[in-house]
Structure 1
Amino acid sequence: MAEALGEVPDRPLRVVAVHAHPDDETLATGLALAHHVARGDRVHVITCTLGEEGEVIPIELAHLEGDPALGPHRARELDAAMARLGAEHDYLATGSSRLTKPRWRDSGMAGSDAAAHPLAFAGAPVDQGAELLAERLGILLPDLVLTYDQEGGYGHPDHIQTHRVTVAAVAALPERLRPRLFAVLTPRSWALEDRAWLAEHVPAGNGLTVPGGEDPFPPSVVDDTLVTHAVEDPAAVSAQVAALREHPTQVTILEDAPAPYYALSNDIAARLPGREGYAELDPETGALLR
């Protein structure tokens, strides 16, 4: 049985989630963020880029794809999503600019033109990003830090870089100030249950693909024994859905089933199951603690 993500009986927890692009915070850790806000904990999100290279779903916003205006637009989406979750937010940057703009930009997928940009986050020196983040963590003093596993969830270069930077930042803190560090992971049994739910409930002919039980999983789906902690709170799904609705360039929420589900620009249906799995990381190495 997975443990609760964090318990401090005598005061509210301080939780920080570090993410690569706007919308990642709600897709990957939105349930935990909503759950901890509802508990009265202090929740803070740090975003590393504006997601300038993201694909755009709605036809009426298609003109933003590949346009410099997409980054600021996604920043506004992020502001609205944070208001829905009740979380505080800033960017990986210095001084007052951390409130409006990150130091680096979206790198796109590996091999893209964006990956060669001089400000691409994936190509930034890890120690520079870690220094900025460690400074911020030293002020926020979190009990828990949430981010991606070594594979960045699904292999995006900015997600992998976010993992590296976050691990290095936590390791750089004095031991007395170090938070517990967690990566988002999904137990294989949960992933199979989610696909079975989608196959049963997603209507045919709505233009989405429902992945089959034998289709490959992303790297963040792992053996159940590797997932040591969890947030299970179906009541928090409504806040997660409300926040996802504020990211319309990236996420489509559908309600033609017994519970809301979503799709990204790949048109693959995905469930919002009211649970998230985590594993604690060694801040010295970034490896899973067993």
Structure 2
Amino acid sequence: MLERVHLVIVREVARQGSLTAAAESLFLTQSALSHTVKKIEQQLGTPIWHREGRSLRPTQAGQYLLSLAERLLPQFELAEERMKQYAAGERGTLRIGMECAPCYQWLLKVVSPYLARFPDVDVDVKQRFQFGGIGALIGYDIDVLVTPDPLNRPGLRFEPVFDYEQVLVVAENHPLAGERYVKPEQLVDETLITYPVETDRLDIYNQFLRPAGIIPRRHKTIETTDIMLQMVASHRGVAALPKWLAEEYADRMPLAIVKLGKQGIAKQIFLGTREDDAVVDYLNLFVEFARESNWQTPRVRR
């Protein structure tokens, strides 16, 4: 059976040109290496070197093994180095699942300085977890779950990293634009535009409309924030978004922001991780970066 050590010997003998030099490079005695070379040829059933005095030249079979060694051994060596880095928490791919569609812009503010701090860590963001984020985290499909709605599960932990307020966004000349806050019944004749998420998971329904027994005239879903707010600015409906995101768009679009109810709707972004990943330094430090960022988009007054 061909083994990795055979490829190492083939490569080193070819590099050094003789058993004596190869044995010294491999920290073996010449007799031990000579015995190993004969054993390899016996196992393979074909000579792999031409012996020319003290020098060795690969046969056709030996040349094939040498070519194989030069392709495979660097990959083994790189893999071993990566494993050491993984073990030391220095390298990896951080797979992030998003259950919060508008949180993508927030995530960008965290990822940018994080990547600068950890150049050996890659980041992969998966946004299609509206209905299976917890399962993806438990099943090791992702390493971090960004969600405003944590669920307690054995083996998982959720850290709050960012506070925000959910607000109503309307066109700047909409009848509700001048209100200090909006009441549920004021949305009964409106078209509510949301991301394509089940209404059971939308705060505007759970914390505002349903407790008052209100259903908007129409509910429309749009995947992208830009198109959603273009529709709102064109009087095609109203939307509920995090205040920090609404303010960012209101600085460049004809939009107005109104509090949802007298007390408002306070929310948090949580990062979910697996408890058995507590020893992964670069993952824990991502949570710290997210918590310390706590950024707010400055509002430019027009």
TM above 0.5, yes or no, is no
Return the structure number with greater helix share.
Answer: 2
Max radius of gyration: which structure?
Answer: 2
Which of 1 and 2 has higher RCO (CA within 8 Å, sep 6+)? 1
TM-score category (smaller protein) = under 0.3
Return the structure number with greater strand share.
Answer: 2
